[in-house]
Amino acid sequence: MNLKLIIIFLVFAGLIYSTAPSWITKDVSLNYSSGSSKVFFNVINRTQTDLIFEVKTSNSPKPSKATENLSAQSGQFWFDSKLLADASTGSIIGDYSVVKEGKLTFAGKEWDTITLEIYISGAKNTKIYDKKTGLMLKQTVSAEGAPEVTLLALYVPEWAPPPPPVQEKKPNGPVLDDSAPNVTDDEVTDNVDVLNDDLQVGEVEQKPASSPAPEKKPLPCCPSAIILGVLGIVIMRSR
């Protein structure tokens, strides 16, 4: 088998086992401008073999359902990212030619892009993809009246930022001041030693004396008691 046949075989094998990028899952939403109108893609489901999504334009409020084969080389808004990973300017991917690579901005974000071209019925179809993910960013067709399609906005669950952390509710009551300095056992011991140094050995800390108790004075005897005592002595002597 010569080299040309080997290359053809490898390209064909790669197309057989191509798969839609993994980020295309349920709830993926894409918004493209298409001339003066807009086109909305909303992924409904992804099975083992098919990608099912709704397509709606700003001119027609009623969406239509579409189905694509996941093993295809590309879809309406994607290209197999595995085939783009090793591609470079001048190379061939299936029926597409790689004509350019570089950084471009779409939907407010900078992407590492790869530009593919293919001729269909004499018209040149140019598609710009994000090389890492295979997301279609822009498409132009050289045919008269064909609108230019450009990515305006997108929502991809796999690329969405994580939710903010849940803040714990603080219990009611006084709030402890974590900024207060921690006191170690050594510092407590040092403070006790300083207090002990203020007192001389053998000294006892003087405490203020309590007020002296009031002096008890004898109750004065009443005059009648003295008279009765004298009469008692006289009577005893007269006997």
d(CA 139, CA 238): 155
* pLDDT at residue 147, rounded to an integer: 92
User: How is the chain split into domains, by residue range?
Assistant: 3-159
Domain spanning 3-159: CATH 2.60.120.10 = no
Model confidence at 11: pLDDT above 50: no
Q: Which residue has the tokens 């084969």?
A: 69
d(CA 232, CA 239): 11
d(CA 134, CA 158): 14
pLDDT band at 94 (very low <50, low <70, confident <90, very high): confident
User: What pLDDT digit, counting tens, does each position of 25-60 carry?
Assistant: 999 999 999 999 999 999 999 999 999 999 999 988
For every residue of 156-225, DSSP letters joined together read -GGGSPPPPPPPPPPPSSPPP-TTSPP--HHHHHHHHHHHHHTS-TT-----PPPPPPPPP-PPPPPHHH
User: What pLDDT digit, counting tens, does each position of 150-181 carry?
Assistant: 999 999 999 988 878 877 766 665 555 555 55
